[in-house]
Structure 1
Amino acid sequence: MILYIWRHPKPITAGGLCIGQTDVEVDKRKLKRLANKIQRFVRLQQLPKVIWVSPLQRSLKVGEILAQRGFECRVAPKLAEIHFGDWDGQSWKQIEKQQIDEWCNNFAHFAPDHGESLQQLFNRAESWLDKIAAEQKDSPVLAIGHAGWINSAKMIATGQEVPNLAINWPHSVGYLSCSHIDI
Structure 2
Amino acid sequence: MILYIWRHPKPIATNGLCIGQTDIKVDRRKLKRLANKIQRFVRLHQLPKVIWVSPLQRSLKVGELLAQRGFQYQIAPELAEIDFGAWDGKFWAQIEKQHIDKWCNNFTDYAPDNGESLQQLFNRAESWLEKIAVEQKGHPVLVIGHAGWINAAKIIAAGQKVPNLAIDWPRSVTYLSLNRINISPK
TM category, shorter: over 0.9
Q: Say how many residue pairs are matched.
A: 183
Unaligned regions of 5+ residues in structure 2, if any?
none
Letter aligned with residue 131 of structure 1: K
Indicate the residue corresponding to 1:139 in structure 2: 139
Looking at structure 2, the residues matched to 138 and 148 of structure 1 have their Cα atoms a distance apart, in angstroms, of: 24
SS in 1 for 2:51: strand
Write out aligned runs for 1:13-32 (5 A). 13-32=13-32
Write out aligned runs for 1:1-183 (5 A). 1-183=1-183
Looking at structure 2, the residues matched to 126 and 138 of structure 1 have their Cα atoms a distance apart, in angstroms, of: 16
Partner deviation per Cα, 1:63-98 (whole Å, 9 max, x = no partner): 000001000010000000000000000000100000
Looking at structure 2, the residues matched to 38 and 135 of structure 1 have their Cα atoms a distance apart, in angstroms, of: 22
SS in 2 for 1:143: strand
Deviation at 1:137, TM superposition (A): 1.4
Partner deviation per Cα, 1:82-134 (whole Å, 9 max, x = no partner): 00000000000100000000000000000000000000000000000000000
Letter aligned with residue 150 of structure 2: I
Looking at structure 2, the residues matched to 17 and 130 of structure 1 have their Cα atoms a distance apart, in angstroms, of: 32
Looking at structure 2, the residues matched to 55 and 12 of structure 1 have their Cα atoms a distance apart, in angstroms, of: 17
Looking at structure 1, the residues matched to 34 and 109 of structure 2 have their Cα atoms a distance apart, in angstroms, of: 33
Displaced runs of 4+ in structure 1, greater than 4 A? Answer: none
Partner deviation per Cα, 1:28-50 (whole Å, 9 max, x = no partner): 00000000000000000000000
Q: TM-score, normalised by structure 1?
A: 1.00
Aligned Cα RMSD in Å?
Answer: 0.3
Deviation at 1:22, TM superposition (A): 0.1
Unaligned regions of 5+ residues in structure 1, if any?
none
Letter aligned with residue 94 of structure 1: Q
SS in 1 for 2:144: strand
